[in-house]
Amino acid sequence: MSLLHHDVQREPFAEASHFREEFFACLTARRDALFELADALLCADGPVTAPVDLTLVAEHRRGHGAMYGALNRGRLDAVRLRRTLAALSQPKAADDRLVLAVDVSNWLRPDAGCSVDRLFCHTFGRGRDQHLMIPGWPYSFGAALEAGRTSWCQLLDALRLGPEDDVAEVTAVQVRRVVEDLITAGRWREGDPDILVVFDAGYDAPRIAYLLDGLPVEVLGRTRSDRVMRRPAPSWEEFYRAHPKGGRLPKHGKEFRFAKPETWGEPDTATVQVTDRYGTAKAMAWDRLHPRLTTRSAWIDHDGELPIIEGTLIRLEVDHLPGGGDPLPLWLWSSATGLTGADVDLRWQAFLRRFDLEHTFRMIKQTLGWTRPKLRTPEAADRWTWLIIVAHTQLRLTRPLAEDIRRPWERPVKPNRLTPARVRRGFRNLRQALPCPARAPKPTRPGPGRPLGSKNQRPATRYDVGKTIRRPETISERDRIRP
């Protein structure tokens, strides 16, 4: 298969080749074994069910001992690899804006009692309408989203959440790191629209917006339908007109209760759009709404006066869902103010694109086998996670070069519209033309191992599951804990 006879294919081929060379340079120990393991992920036939099966792939020229040794004792420069991912060509939204999505996916390890740093991970759907808490390693992924309906996105970062981590603080640090890498790589320049960062329910969007202050970003997050926010505080003229006897000027305005429409008032912006999947979509937006913060929980260590974090509240209502379910109103909060009707439509459409990241989670789990290895240490799990990200990135870079190798019952698709799984089918043909800097293995003899019949004299340590630090909820509790 020729790759270079079309001018349109030269740029993706050069970018994929450069990325493979940079990835090899990011490996600082067991680099040949780790590089070939990533290639085996892409060239294996069918889904990856166990990492030991990858040693039987022709592209992996080493034994299973080298594979486990690379995962357990290899080293990878994650900082350089993150910068390499940020330097790639990034997908953008319809208004030439970078849209990032952050979400957590769990690597469940309920039977790994000897693995440290496991947390209770929330799962849904393992029983009939059951919410279960299962031990595992939660990973926070950051990705750049594409415009339109697609199953593709560009993974930029992965961070394992530990027992001592605060989710909002760690997520803010992760987003700041990704945005700074994008700015350093020249993917965002002065004058470009602010980078839109999208979060699902479970994140404190106003607090993350406060922690990301100073960056050219806009936070868009989903909020619960039982929240209460406040309107802007009245001016001196408005206050004394309503209270002629005087008094102290309030810090917050009237309440805006999501569950009580009588408190909403007239929206500042209202739009109506007709869509193919959701029918008529009606959006209403109220400008300059903010939550009333208290010196409790996440803000208990805040010094000085609590901030007022204003934004735009958006309520989206559609006729029906693609699966036929009963749709409920969707509430979104954006850290930007003064949005027009077109801006409001862009926000809720960008939020719907966040679900493309769920397709990526499904692909890396079911096809690339992200959660299949039974690794003991979280450090080995981190290395395997980065290999999965590298493999998925190579699929995205070679998408314009891939040939549609489809099964007889599958429909043909247009060029550059293949799914990640279908691009993976033809990656072995593309790999022959891509650089492979890994060296051939040297012949060695296996060690003697444990003598036959002897028992293990060093049993592994067993670790508890869950958070190791309990954060104070009130000021009195905080003062009791402090020395």
Give pLDDT tens digits for 71-113.
999 999 999 999 999 999 999 877 889 999 999 999 999 999 9
Handedness of CA 197, 311, 189, 352 (dihedral sign): positive
Q: For residue 292, give the nearest of 325, 251, 323 by alpha carbon.
A: 251
pLDDT at 95: 81
Q: For residue 314, give the nearest of 296, 287, 290 by alpha carbon.
A: 287
Q: Which residues of the chain have pLDDT under 70?
A: 1-9, 125-129, 236, 239, 243, 245-247, 475, 478-479, 481-483
pLDDT at 252: 87
Q: For residue 180, give the nearest of 246, 271, 100, 92 by alpha carbon.
A: 100
pLDDT at 106: 96
3-state class (DSSP) for residue 130: coil
CA distance 256 to 414: 48
The answer to whether residues 136 and 121 touch, using CB atoms and an 8 Å cutoff, is yes
pLDDT at 309: 95
**What pTM, to 2 d.p., does this model score?**
0.92
pLDDT at 1: 35
pLDDT tens figures, 103-150? 999 999 999 999 999 999 988 766 666 788 999 999 999 999 998 888
Helices 10-26 and 31-43: crossing angle in degrees, nearest 10, is 140
pLDDT at 459: 87
